[in-house]
Structure 1
């Protein structure tokens, strides 16, 4: 049963005492008064200091517009008009825009002094201004912001005050900025202007772009205490445009250099600007004292620029190079290099006096395939006088360059049709024999596989004749050959142009292959493919040989005209693969896998060229030889004799699987799920030959041998050779006598062979991420055709100045290349075969002596002559914002040394100390 609550005396007394206690504690408090003058309050709780807006309740009302509802006391034509008497009174210290701020530690507001203080990592934003600093104070009364740096326990700067407005950004110890006037004062300011860093002890910012300062310092060193720079007492800085100073002088490691200029002008604008290129001083024993590399850079427009440089020597030699470059993004890019060199060795009257005029034309062009799908135009031209490269000082690679080639190619591929057109111009020259061959134009047109018996709307299983395809390849060539060191008028009695017309050759070739893919046999193990082909060549001259009994010499008679040679062939090929695996229960080797790929084809080729071959006496002993009448044409004639036989070959691949090491207790680097590693022993070992059943003699063709492998995933080895199974007579002609029938140990005569090996080793990079970015950048340049020209120019400069491009991130690296060539050549004087070996090796190496010192070498050693043909070495020193390089080449056509100290920045590339001395062998 519910009991009513009973009042007790002790409960009443407790309530009275509690009320008395609350009144006594709160008797001095007021809800609208703050007795302490420095009461701190978070800025977010600050009361609005703007007085409340007074709204006139007696607003005048006027009707306007027919779509409004008028009051009852008006007519339909009345218009409603509202006159608002709202007014806003702004404070005198109000800014034109709001100020947004953030502090990681705290934000404190001083009410009476009208100041806001922020601590920690602060960020303040006002219009286009962003300020970050450790400590910031905003004075609302004066609209002045003060930012101060922070220091560590040693007194060094821990964090700067950073000011950013549009493209203007700088770090300072102290920043005082007025929001209203947009002017400010800074102490110990560092501003980055392009590649320049401007240090200012006291700076005054007068507007968004202009700053005046005293005790300024210009440098390209990015340290707080730079290694070098230019000191000025007063300066004016216009952001990202220019800086003008009073008297200025350079300083190195705080040591002033007593070279003063009355004023300084520093262009700071971004983009390309034209200007002079300072030359380098050089001394050459044969050419005299010279100034090299001087000239002018032209920034023509956004798509074109050009460098014009030249060399001049005291003996009278000079050279001129014009190097324009062009580029249009997503379309094309390229560059020219036109060079003319007048080389003058010593003076007239000297025994070794010589004077030569040489030229060089280099053109590189690439189009972006995305600009015009199906159409490309590329050019890679490297043509010059055959002696031009021999007269380039201090460039061993160019001096020894034996062959040069060029190509200009236009291709058109029809996307919806199987047609392809290629028009090209080609150039080949041999700097050893001084011969030059130019082919222009070369035209190639092809039609892809066409399936005449396959209907487009056919459905169901395909028949074998559906796979029959017909294609076409046609080529048309022109070529002229001349010797650029021979005076054609003196030798041939005609002008150079007339001599070119005499050497002009043209020719065409047509191929029509017909193939069909038959179903495989033996459960798919053997692939069968029949083929039929017909080809034809058009030639412009015929050469007939005859023996002159009176003069006892072999004479030739050349007839120009239009001649046709042709051939046809029929074949049936068989291809398969055989696999064999050998498992080992014990030992480190777990298994070995051998793959054999035999090929066999049966072919028949009728003799359609017999009438163009003749047997001619070649010496007074009555020896004869067979000659083709189409020797020396752009397309050689086809071989004589019919062929009916087999082409056969075999290719081998061998790899090994190694048992991986069992993980030890506590080893977390190896897991049980990892597979056993595979090691490739032989990537390829092949032998190919042919046997002609219709031949009267020597039915077996020479054996072609090839081998390739990679050892330890580091050493690449390739080898090849030609093994002739028949013997030769006294004058070196093959006879119908097999080697293995007269010798127990020889299966044939090794006519020629070659072996090449290459390897490279390098240490792990100090910074893996930096190396990864470098490789990614190189891959992008290789894959981007628009960067090919720029990459080629950079590589050429790197070859000439290896010490300036040292990668200190790789402590050491070694590259070795070795090649051996063997030729079994018949000597007509001794009537014997001579074994001719060409044996050489090239090497490059680089290693860091210290983290800042690097030593590198490269050379070429002729093992056959036991002679070091070329050798050069370089020492490099990383001076942070500067670099020092010493290059020495004691061997080669030009022996030289070079000493250079220069800034890394491209802005100060002319501020360098260079000493070059060249000695010519």
Structure 2
């Protein structure tokens, strides 16, 4: 319909007589041309055509009245404007009045085809059609169509039909007194398709009765109504706005006062981001509210929504302070339904001062923060607070750091120190509790050396001090030192098998010695016993990575890694030296197959206990495999199969092992596809945790599917027949819900 209007309207506004000054030339032709000078008429016969600018008419015969500026074409008419075409049996068009009519009109429109017995251009950008029909089926006799005896089209706005009849194989099935459909190339306000059905819990229903409102070029809103004869009327609204870079976000809300339970239930979710907020700040936030834990699962058709475990909302404002630093103000709240806990930070403030240069490359880094934290223990309904704790915590810190000093053969050296002060007030059920106040300091010095580009050595020493100013306990002091050595070694193997054209093996051995002496309580620096360690440990690591060059272009592909680590504790019992050595842990990650059709990856970790000379009881293996042999021909018909598997095994000394396999599969032949959309089996509990089966049948312009899903103890099934290009128009389980059994819902 829209295309037809464009073709009829897209004619010149300056059309005058052919011999007038300034008139564009009209070209015409045919195998036989008859011109009547007396009546000023031209008749074109046999392959006749007329062309003006980018418009043309082709037909068996064309009659053009030069005096009246009227054109008529008969039999197999093809009207073309640019790259768009419309066909019919008769075309009449008046150039001066810009009105026209075409009979048996047929054209391609958005996602489908439009036919009409007659189409009239009654005035500029307004069309009337008689006996109009729309379908997405490309057959000469379509499987279905939407028929309207009277259709009015407001160009680039909306199409209105009254009434509208849905026909299946030419037989009327459903009807409505009128309908409005947006037909603009841009977004336009209008009604949207809805669905009707029947359910034992909801009764007769009509869902997604919607009006789409285009507010402006940057925002729109959709209003929904779900009418259920047993539950009531649920109102919903969705809003989306994008005003880059100032703001973007969305708002979703729903509300219902249930007729059967008399409960008022609601949900509100929103997200917002603004990179240019007040006074140059940035705003980022999320809102998530719900009346009760089961509201969304009760009404949602999305399986993922069934498992929504909590609610989380936050709002954050951050601003960069020119030449000073940045400030962040955060408010957040979370409700955990299963644990009956609700906590909130309101507010949390962080002030970070940019590094301030002092002298000779030294820098100063101040920061401060404040936190008001509340934690509520809720009753089983998650509505009444049984207990509450409230904390007010403030802290400030001042850091100083040096540049990297070059000290000749000893490499480079850096020094840093950080002093922090913390104070808080804690309440329990609104009663004053603790009032902590503390101060701490950490001083660290590092040296780093590099040799021949492959060897590295790092030494570090530190002292840390902390004091609780609310008690008389002496200052806690700790000293620490460490030495870390590392190397990076390479080896290239000239392999030319299985498409590999070279293998790079990178080895990174590391050794780290950590030492902390015992410190007695004392004045500011305590009393360290340098030869009496409380920590003395040597850590050893051996990393391996493998990279191959594949195909003729030498593409590099990472094949995997193998890492080993252990440590030796010098303080373990000397009677049994083996106890000093911690278990050797190893992790491996392999990606041997990385093709578009075949993928395989393996991740594993395990340990070896030197004490018992046996592998440890803690290990894990995760394997992922995917084989995709589904192909499409030129008509987009699917053939082949697909299999995806993921296996996980995690064992720990405490508790039973976690042993799961998940996967998906599909098998397709022309016209049919059977899919295992998801599958999970828990070997430890010997039960299927979830699965989903989907059977799809291609019905040309339609498609039918049957679906069965299980998640935990909850089951659901569904079946539908729907139009491919108009998926909201469907007939399925919802239509006959009260007549069908409910399984596990």
* TM-score normalized with structure 1 length: 0.59
Write out per-residue CA displacement over residues 731-767 of structure 1, whole angstroms, 9 at most, x where no aligned residue: xxxxxxxx74xx34158x66x6554444544347638
Give the structure 2 partner of residue 920 of structure 1: 744
Cα pair 1:571 1:602 within 8 Å, conserved: no
Give the structure 1 partner of residue 52 of structure 2: 125
Distance 1:810 1:483 in 2: 56
Cα pair 1:319 1:339 within 8 Å, conserved: no
For residues 311 and 370 of structure 1, do their structure 2 counterparts lie closer, same or farther at Cα, with a shift above 3 Å needed?
same
Give the structure 2 partner of residue 335 of structure 1: 250
Give the structure 2 partner of residue 256 of structure 1: 171
Cα pair 1:413 1:421 within 8 Å, conserved: yes
Cα pair 1:707 1:720 within 8 Å, conserved: yes
Give the structure 1 partner of residue 688 of structure 2: 868
Cα pair 2:571 2:580 within 8 Å, conserved: yes
Write out per-residue CA displacement over residues 608-640 of structure 1, whole angstroms, 9 at most, x where no aligned residue: 9999xxxxxxxxxxxxxxxxxxxxxxxxxxxxx
Give the SS at the match of 2:123: coil
Write out per-residue CA displacement over residues 91-120 of structure 1, whole angstroms, 9 at most, x where no aligned residue: 977579623456899997958575386998
Find out whether 1:507 has 2:393 as its counterpart.
Answer: yes
Cα pair 2:547 2:556 within 8 Å, conserved: yes
Write out per-residue CA displacement over residues 360-399 of structure 1, whole angstroms, 9 at most, x where no aligned residue: 43222233x4889974322234454444455456544333
Find out whether 1:172 has 2:50 as its counterpart.
Answer: no
Distance 1:609 1:356 in 2: 63
Find out whether 1:583 has 2:493 as its counterpart.
Answer: yes
Cα pair 2:118 2:131 within 8 Å, conserved: yes
Cα pair 1:394 1:894 within 8 Å, conserved: no
Distance 2:35 2:88 in 1: 26
For residues 357 and 214 of structure 1, do their structure 2 counterparts lie closer, same or farther at Cα, with a shift above 3 Å needed?
closer
Find out whether 1:479 has 2:362 as its counterpart.
Answer: no
Give the structure 1 partner of residue 714 of structure 2: 894
Aligned residues: 662
Give the structure 2 partner of residue 766 of structure 1: 632
For residues 703 and 580 of structure 1, do their structure 2 counterparts lie closer, same or farther at Cα, with a shift above 3 Å needed?
same
Cα pair 2:18 2:25 within 8 Å, conserved: no
Find out whether 1:819 has 2:638 as its counterpart.
Answer: no
Distance 1:272 1:410 in 2: 35
Distance 2:262 2:519 in 1: 56
Cα pair 2:541 2:566 within 8 Å, conserved: yes
Matches within 5 A, 1:441-590: 441-454=347-360, 466=361, 468-486=362-380, 496=385, 502-508=388-394, 510=396, 512=398, 514-516=400-402, 518=404, 531-535=416-420, 537-541=422-426, 559-564=433-438, 566=440, 568=442, 570-572=444-446, 573=458, 576-581=486-491, 583=493, 590=502
Out of 121, 140, 144, which is 1:205 matched to? 121
Distance 1:289 1:865 in 2: 38
Matches within 5 A, 1:133-152: 133=58, 137=62, 138-146=64-72
Find out whether 1:297 has 2:211 as its counterpart.
Answer: yes
Distance 2:399 2:542 in 1: 26
Find out whether 1:397 has 2:304 as its counterpart.
Answer: yes
Give the SS at the match of 1:919: coil
Give the SS at the match of 2:658: strand
Cα pair 1:200 1:215 within 8 Å, conserved: yes
Find out whether 1:711 has 2:563 as its counterpart.
Answer: no
State the shift of 1:596 in Å.
0.5
* Greater Cα radius of gyration, structure 1 or 2: 1
Cα pair 2:560 2:590 within 8 Å, conserved: yes
Write out per-residue CA displacement over residues 180-202 of structure 1, whole angstroms, 9 at most, x where no aligned residue: 33333323213567677541233
Give the structure 2 partner of residue 324 of structure 1: 238
Distance 2:229 2:151 in 1: 41
Distance 1:603 1:355 in 2: 68
* TM-score normalized with structure 2 length: 0.71
Out of 544, 558, 563, which is 1:685 matched to? 563
For residues 656 and 259 of structure 1, do their structure 2 counterparts lie closer, same or farther at Cα, with a shift above 3 Å needed?
closer
Give the structure 2 partner of residue 161 of structure 1: 79
Out of 312, 315, 320, which is 1:408 matched to? 315
Matches within 5 A, 1:835-854: 835-851=655-671, 853=673
State the shift of 1:871 in Å.
1.5
Cα pair 1:386 1:484 within 8 Å, conserved: no
Distance 1:591 1:880 in 2: 51
Distance 2:522 2:382 in 1: 37
Matches within 5 A, 1:652-691: 652-657=543-548, 674-675=553-554, 678-683=556-561, 685=563, 687=565
Cα pair 2:666 2:673 within 8 Å, conserved: no
Distance 2:16 2:375 in 1: 91
Find out whether 1:363 has 2:270 as its counterpart.
Answer: yes
Give the structure 2 partner of residue 281 of structure 1: 197
Cα pair 1:566 1:608 within 8 Å, conserved: no
Find out whether 1:380 has 2:290 as its counterpart.
Answer: no
Give the structure 1 partner of residue 508 of structure 2: 596
Give the structure 1 partner of residue 468 of structure 2: none
Give the structure 1 partner of residue 541 of structure 2: 650
Distance 1:535 1:647 in 2: 31
Distance 1:581 1:821 in 2: 34
For residues 510 and 597 of structure 1, do their structure 2 counterparts lie closer, same or farther at Cα, with a shift above 3 Å needed?
farther
Write out per-residue CA displacement over residues 107-164 of structure 1, whole angstroms, 9 at most, x where no aligned residue: 97958575386998977336xx8335477854434423345686xxxxxxxx932258
Structure 2: gaps (5+ residues): 1-14, 447-457, 459-483, 524-531
Cα pair 1:469 1:515 within 8 Å, conserved: yes
Give the structure 2 partner of residue 830 of structure 1: none
Higher helix share: 1
For residues 386 and 195 of structure 1, do their structure 2 counterparts lie closer, same or farther at Cα, with a shift above 3 Å needed?
same
Distance 1:744 1:259 in 2: 78
Give the structure 2 partner of residue 98 of structure 1: 23
Distance 2:546 2:297 in 1: 47
Cα pair 1:103 1:119 within 8 Å, conserved: no
Distance 1:106 1:474 in 2: 90
State the shift of 1:867 in Å.
0.8
Distance 1:880 1:433 in 2: 51
Write out per-residue CA displacement over residues 714-742 of structure 1, whole angstroms, 9 at most, x where no aligned residue: 33444567x7x9xxxxxxxxxxxxx74xx
Distance 2:389 2:301 in 1: 37
Higher strand share: 2
Write out per-residue CA displacement over residues 781-831 of structure 1, whole angstroms, 9 at most, x where no aligned residue: xxxxxxxxxxxxxxxxxxxxxxxxxx9779654443333333333xxxxxx
Distance 2:683 2:116 in 1: 62
Cα pair 2:180 2:190 within 8 Å, conserved: no
For residues 116 and 230 of structure 1, do their structure 2 counterparts lie closer, same or farther at Cα, with a shift above 3 Å needed?
same
Give the SS at the match of 1:824: coil
Give the structure 2 partner of residue 115 of structure 1: 42
Distance 1:194 1:447 in 2: 57
Distance 2:363 2:667 in 1: 58
Give the structure 2 partner of residue 24 of structure 1: none
Distance 1:355 1:265 in 2: 34
State the shift of 1:646 in Å.
6.4
Cα pair 2:135 2:145 within 8 Å, conserved: yes
Distance 1:372 1:766 in 2: 53
Cα pair 2:390 2:426 within 8 Å, conserved: no
Distance 1:540 1:292 in 2: 55
